[in-house]
Amino acid sequence: MSLITHPQARELTKSVRATVMVFKDPRSEELLNRIERLAPSEANALIIGETGTGKELVARHVHHLSRRSKAPFVAVNCGAFPESLVESELFGHEKGAFTGATTSKAGWFESANGGTLFLDEIGDLPLSIQVKLLRVLQEREVVRLGSRTPIPIDVRLVAATNVNLADAVVAGNFREDLFYRLHVATIRLPPLRERPGDILPLAEFFLEEHCERLGYTRASLSAEAEHKLLSHSWPGNIRELENAIHHALLVCRNQQVQPGDLNLADMRSTISRPELPVAHLVPAEVSLEAALHALYEQNLPNLYEHIEETIFRSAYRFCHGNQLQTGRLLNISRNIVRARLDKIGELESTVHLVRN
């Protein structure tokens, strides 16, 4: 069994990212083999996987196995910066380039020179920045904001996304030329539920790690707890598993984790309504199909647009007006969310509500 860990794992205990990956399941062993074959090349890489599957860990491993391993590895979350600051963060700026730019500053591309730049959630980049990113990849140079002087760079780009960029291209929210520039060496990370052979080894690792960190006597999993772990769907992937083990260690007795200690919630299987008894829980696909049939019977004009608008509007309001959370809920990029909300006028109505 192979294992890779994040170098700052303990500082990331509240993060949604995965801090360790094991390669025990046959699908994981196949994945590791692909990583090891692609890593030594200089090709740009695109890592695709759900939140919590270990995209940054894979990017770090690609860097570690490349000829750039002694040079910097710089990780940047593209969704973490306001749109107005993305260009400055990526490409740098000169003194006076904008209000508040009191000194010159190198961007992330310059910081990663000679090494690897990891752009997480690349689908969240605005289209205007995608154009400039494409130019940087083609010309191998950056121009700081407020400057006209190009700066040569030698950077390998590894990008990651938890959405389907091909769909984003079709929707007009991601540049096709940039997509193909990134889509040279693709690494798809299967979710944890599709590699069950990794679940118990990961659980054992987290048991040992958290017992040591908390100063606890080494705990173990009961057979019933192991069965519960193996039967769970893991929508939060590795990170959800770590949180489950951490919680279990805090509440278990006699150094043995029982099923009730795991505090697992499966949000994929059913849609529940709090006011109804358990007997009235309706499988999601049945409830949705019934609602669609009711709409079909009304013979509405522009039905597809109506359904799409309703999905985006309700998801946005469910997330209390947070575009990033809406994108995560719908498993699409924030760019797509923003474009759709602007199209249906939801952004304007939100601004109006805030002002009033």
Beta-carbon contacts of residue 180 (< 8 Å; ≥ 6 apart)? none
Tokens describing residue 204: 């054992």
Q: How far apart are CA 137 and CA 57, in angstroms?
A: 23
Answer whether 142's CB lies under 8 Å from 153's CB: yes
- For residue 9, the model assigns a pLDDT of 57
Three-class DSSP category at 7: coil
- For residue 17, the model assigns a pLDDT of 63
Assess if CATH 1.10.10.60 describes domain 275-355: yes
* Amino acid identity at 282: V
Q: How far apart are CA 113 and CA 91, in angstroms?
A: 12
Q: How far apart are CA 13 and CA 84, in angstroms?
A: 30
Q: What is the pTM of this model?
A: 0.73
How many residues appear in the chain?
356
CATH 1.10.10.60 domain span(s) along the chain = 275-355
Q: What is the CATH number of domain 196-261?
A: 1.10.8.60
What CATH superfamily classification does 39-190 receive? P-loop containing nucleotide triphosphate hydrolases (3.40.50.300)
Three-class DSSP category at 232: coil
Residue 117, phi then psi, degrees to nearest 5: -110, 120
- For residue 194, the model assigns a pLDDT of 94
CATH 1.10.8.60 domain span(s) along the chain = 196-261
Report DSSP state, residue 325: H
- For residue 272, the model assigns a pLDDT of 38
CATH 3.40.50.300 domain span(s) along the chain = 39-190
pLDDT in tens, the chain (356 residues): 777 777 665 555 445 567 788 899 999 999 999 999 999 988 999 999 998 899 999 999 999 999 999 999 999 998 888 778 899 999 999 998 888 888 999 999 999 999 999 999 999 899 999 999 999 999 999 999 999 999 999 999 999 998 888 888 888 889 999 999 998 899 999 999 999 999 999 999 999 999 988 888 889 999 999 999 999 999 889 989 999 999 999 999 999 999 999 988 765 443 333 443 444 444 555 567 777 777 777 777 778 888 888 888 888 888 778 887 788 788 888 788 888 888 888 776 544 444 44
- For residue 305, the model assigns a pLDDT of 81
